[in-house]
């Protein structure tokens, strides 16, 4: 059985994911409204976040090799990382207090060195694909093994577009900012096939931000 999947992003008026400053306070406040049991986060998105909020990556400590003991109601963060993008910086994600723990999704082609790296640090990891991540299989695993009923996707264009094109997204949540990026726009739906949507929610924040939620037909 597949969980409900919500794709949540902050975008410019012309649909760009980058080259503007999003209101993160409102972004994450709205994300919390979905009361998701799990987050699916792109590895590149996570890496950019780590680099953005850390002047330098802190050294690992003994506690980073142990599973954190946190509120079981907190969501697990599932990160597809077949190319070992987060090797050496995963501990910065595990330290985030609003994350129950990090679970890594890999493929059969992921290096054995990375797998051993994960095992040594007591990360849950799952092989869900031959060359790339089988997203439907991954979502099924997240639902059946971890009991997730709602998965919030906080990712860039690549992972989001793949989920949309495979018909795995139930709702699209967009926090639209009053800025046009123009020629430097990195369009959120650049590679999405034609998709019909139904508007189910719209709200305004700070007089300038518009929150739109669509259901995928």
Domain ranges of the chain: 1-37+149-217, 45-148
Residue ranges of the chain with per-residue pLDDT less than 70: 53-55
Q: State how far the Cα of 206 lies from the Cα of 217, in Å rounded to an integer.
A: 30
Could you tell me the pTM of the whole model?
A: 0.93
Give the pLDDT of residue 58.
Answer: 87
Question: Both tokens of residue 140?
Answer: 């099924």
Q: State how far the Cα of 198 lies from the Cα of 72, in Å rounded to an integer.
A: 34
Give the pLDDT of residue 199.
Answer: 98
Task: Of 1, 4, 96, 83, give the one whose Cα is nearest residue 44.
Answer: 83
Give the pLDDT of residue 54.
Answer: 65
pLDDT in tens, 80-90: 999 999 999 99
CATH number of 45-148: 3.40.50
CATH class for the domain made up of 1-37+149-217: alpha beta
Contact present, 175 and 26 (Cβ < 8 Å): yes
Question: Both tokens of residue 182?
Answer: 């123009």
Give the pLDDT of residue 40.
Answer: 97
Give the pLDDT of residue 164.
Answer: 97
Give the pLDDT of residue 49.
Answer: 79
C-alpha count within 13 angstroms, C-beta hemisphere, residue 120: 12
């Amino acid at each position: 059985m597949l969980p409900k999947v919500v794709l949540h992003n902050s975008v410019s008026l012309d649909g760009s994911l980058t080259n503007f400053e999003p209101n993160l306070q409102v972004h994450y406040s709205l994300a919390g409204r979905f009361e998701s049991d799990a987050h699916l986060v792109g590895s590149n998105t996570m890496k950019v976040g780590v680099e953005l909020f850390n002047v330098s990556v802190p050294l690992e400590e003994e506690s980073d090799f142990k599973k954190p003991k946190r509120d079981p109601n907190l969501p697990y963060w599932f990160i597809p990382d077949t190319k070992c993008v987060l090797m050496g910086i995963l501990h910065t994600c595990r330290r985030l207090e609003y994350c129950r723990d990090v679970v890594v999704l890999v493929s059969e082609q992921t290096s054995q060195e990375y797998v051993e790296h994960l095992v040594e640090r007591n990360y849950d990891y799952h092989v869900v694909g031959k060359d790339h991540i089988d997203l439907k299989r991954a979502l099924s695993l997240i639902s059946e093994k971890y009991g997730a009923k709602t998965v919030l996707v906080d990712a860039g264009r690549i992972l989001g577009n793949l989920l949309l094109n495979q018909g795995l997204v139930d709702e699209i949540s967009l926090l639209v900012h009053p800025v046009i990026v123009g020629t430097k726009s990195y369009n959120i739906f650049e590679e999405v096939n034609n998709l019909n949507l139904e508007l189910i929610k719209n709200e305004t924040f700070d007089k300038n931000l518009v929150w739109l939620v669509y259901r995928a037909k």
